[in-house]
């Protein structure tokens, strides 16, 4: 460390000029801050404002934005819940639903659980059993693409959307509250890189994604077999 020898007390510099410089610097920074805040007041983003529209020609490809990860959702996974259950009849509807409710399948990203009930309407002239069925997709933790990784050549997102026809498919994002930024990033990338349109729907924190399966497999209404 450098040492100096003070020849006389008069040569020791005072702190007043330094404090003066500091005070001036702080004052200028405050002025710049005030000017910036007042002048900007918000970011303007040119964007195409969304509006829902029917598009029966294009089929959705589902993705879920969960815990800041992007998970591809396999819509066909729910069909596996019906495997080995056979066809329900009016007489077997109750036991069929009980077996259906125990069904559970999974892939690398989701665990899918079945749920449902048989509602009987016994009328004087005709009785029917209505099956109300649904599949709950529970996302797994720490799987899927991160926001930084989804643009990468080897990302799951890239691999899934690369070959999609923009006229035949669109991306449908199911977004959990803590993954809004990730959703925007993925949507912008798909649009700018591949020209694929997209839609989205909000999901509730802590709850699985539920698909209504009524009309699928079990059918909506079953009537008893005609009596001989």
Kindly state the smallest distance separating residue 160's Cβ from another protein, in Å: 22
Does 50 bind another protein (CB under 8 A)? Our answer is: yes
Does 36 bind another protein (CB under 8 A)? Our answer is: yes
How many residues comprise the chain? 228
Does 223 bind another protein (CB under 8 A)? Our answer is: no
Does 5 bind another protein (CB under 8 A)? Our answer is: yes
Does 204 bind another protein (CB under 8 A)? Our answer is: yes
Does 66 bind another protein (CB under 8 A)? Our answer is: no
Options 96, 109, 170, 200; binder of another protein; rule CB under 8 A: 200
Q: In whole angstroms, what is the distance from residue 50 CA to residue 59 CA?
A: 18
Kindly state the smallest distance separating residue 97's Cβ from another protein, in Å: 26
Kindly state the smallest distance separating residue 28's Cβ from another protein, in Å: 10
Tokens of 185: 């990033």
Q: Which residues of 6-17 are buried (b: 16+ CB within 10 A; e: fewer)?
A: eeeeeeeeeeee
Residues contacting residue 169 through CB under 8 Å, at least 6 positions apart: 58, 59, 60, 61, 196
Options 51, 56, 124, 141; binder of another protein; rule CB under 8 A: 51
Please give the span between the terminal C-alpha atoms of the chain, in angstroms, as a whole number: 110
């Amino acid at each position: 460390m450098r040492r100096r020898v003070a020849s006389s007390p008069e040569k020791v510099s005072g702190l007043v000029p330094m404090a003066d410089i500091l005070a001036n610097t702080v004052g200028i920074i405050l002025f710049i801050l005030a000017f910036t805040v007042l002048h900007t007041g918000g970011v303007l983003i040119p964007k195409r404002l969304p509006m829902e529209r029917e598009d029966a020609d294009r089929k959705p490809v589902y993705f879920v934005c969960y815990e800041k990860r992007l998970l591809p959702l396999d819509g066909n996974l729910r069909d596996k819940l019906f495997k080995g259950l056979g066809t329900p009849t009016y007489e077997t509807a109750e036991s069929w639903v009980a077996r259906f409710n125990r069904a559970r399948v999974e892939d690398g990203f989701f665990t899918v659980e079945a749920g449902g009930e048989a509602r009987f309407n016994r009328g004087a002239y005709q009785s029917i059993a209505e099956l109300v069925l649904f599949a709950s997709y529970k996302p797994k933790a720490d799987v899927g693409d991160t926001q930084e990784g989804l643009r990468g050549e080897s990302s799951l997102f890239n691999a899934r959307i690369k070959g999609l026809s923009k006229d035949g498919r669109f991306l449908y994002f199911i977004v959990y509250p803590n993954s809004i930024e990730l959703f925007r990033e993925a949507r912008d990338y798909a649009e700018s890189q591949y020209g694929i349109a997209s839609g989205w729907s909000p999901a509730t924190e802590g709850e699985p994604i539920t698909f209504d399966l009524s009309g699928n497999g079990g059918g909506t209404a079953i009537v008893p077999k005609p009596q001989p």
